[in-house]
Amino acid sequence: MALKITSWNVNSVRLRLPQIERFAAETGPDVLCLQEIKCLAEQFPAKAFAKAGYPHQAIRGQKGMHGVAIVSKLPLEEMPDPEVCQRGEARAQRASVAGIELLNLYIPAGGDEADVKTNPKFAHKLDYLDRLQTSFAKRKDQASAKVILVGDLNIAPGEHDVWSHKQLLKVVSHTPVEVEALTQVLNSFDFVDMARLCVPDPEKLFTWWSYRSKDWTKHNRGRRLDHIWFSKALQKSATSKTEPVFEAKTACRSWERPSDHAPISLAFEHD
């Protein structure tokens, strides 16, 4: 079965609806996983997504901030959400689509200072990651479960996932403590980072550029904050016949009123 899945921090689904509709029409993903939708579930533009070909929808909304959503051309079966946010914010959801368990996550950004003692936001981020790692470590189906984890994980783990490894080592999103915490999550369920499987180091790969840069293309000071991971069982299935194709559609960052994130997609086949 051929599938194409997209993850995108849209930074307000209602504000960014025209861009999302354009992207969906141009690229045709089967499943769209959205983060930072910034609305309550009843405010989500459900009719517009259904008209665009995504009638199956699972929404985790929150007033004014955060929020995640999955919209799909294929039927969705909602599953219990992982309890990973100690503040109870709408930052995680779980659903089943085409026989695959799908987790859509929006990990806290962590504020500006990489110090848990002085920055509660950074402590919250590390706690979220610890809870996520623990939830996977408790499972006993690592060898067989077909799982996709996607989302804005707010961490650029590798040297080539940032514009300057040396200059960003003390900047939240690329600090060693965050990278180690994210690596523990990845290893806890034997996940495969599909972007780096498809686009190996040392090629630079970015998905986010700050709004503070008036011309983001001039210096290309990006970071790879958005991710698509496969469980080992799904990765083996997805690469048995054809090679998956990963794309970060960076052109969207230059569209009118853009999100600061570009959508990332993976096209693959699975049994």
Distance CA 253, CA 240 (A): 33
User: Among candidates 20, 107, 13, 18, which has minimal Cα distance to 64?
Assistant: 13
The amino acid at 84: V
Distance CA 106, CA 7 (A): 11
> Is the pTM for the entire model greater than 0.85?
yes
Q: Would you say residue 23 has pLDDT above 80?
A: yes
Handedness of CA 112, 115, 117, 121 (dihedral sign): positive
Q: What pLDDT is recorded for position 166? A: 97
- The predicted-structure confidence for 173-188, as pLDDT tens digits, reads as follows 999 999 999 999 999 9
Q: What is the C-alpha end-to-end distance of the chain, expressed in Å?
A: 6
Q: What pLDDT is recorded for position 215? A: 83
List of domains in the chain: 2-269 (3.60.10.10)
Please state at what angle helix 176-188 crosses helix 120-137, rounded to 10 degrees: 20
Q: Would you say residue 125 has pLDDT above 90?
A: yes
